[in-house]
Amino acid sequence: MKSVLILCTGNSARSQMAEGLLRSMAGNGFEVESAGTKPSIVRKEAIAALAEVGIDISDHRSKSVDEFAGRDFDFVLTVCDNARENCPYFPATTRTIHHSFADPADASGDFDARLAEFKRVRDEIRDYFESEFLTILSN
């Protein structure tokens, strides 16, 4: 089974949505985790954006990349520039891939306005997985 670690700064939005999406899309052939360089909380908007497409991440928690120290992953995907710059060392056998997405946590306004931004980023992540990342994982 191939393993994937998705990294972001807070492990609150992008990496959480990416973890939920990839688990749903890749099936049982992949072990998928997410973490942050400075973990915080899982945003309500991320939970709601994925619930809208039938994916439940309500039991997820924000995790530190330190929780995965010494663990081998086949792939590490950084989804923000800060995580790429602060990504810890992984063994040479780990393939590191970077694709930056806008941080929906920066959205302002009421819940519905913020949720709209989370859904936009969710769709960008899903499109990236469908068009590129799943092909990379299968090679």
121 is catalytic: no
∠ CA(45), CA(46), CA(48), 5° rounding? Answer: 65
- Is 31 catalytic? The answer is no
Is 125 considered catalytic here? no
pTM for the model: 0.92
Q: Provide φ and ψ at 20, rounded to 5°.
A: -60, -45
**In the chain, domain spans:** 2-138
Render pLDDT for 109-123 as a digit per residue (tens, 0 to 9): 999 999 999 999 999
DSSP SS3 for 7:
strand
How high is the mean pLDDT in each 10-residue block of the chain (139 residues)?
92 96 90 93 98 98 91 90 61 81 95 98 96 85
> Please, is 122 exposed, middle or buried when counting C-beta atoms within 10 Å of its C-beta (0-12, 13-18, 19+)?
buried
Q: Which of 31, 38, 82, 87 is catalytic?
A: 87
2-138 under CATH 3.40.50.2300, yes or no: yes
pLDDT of residue 82: 67
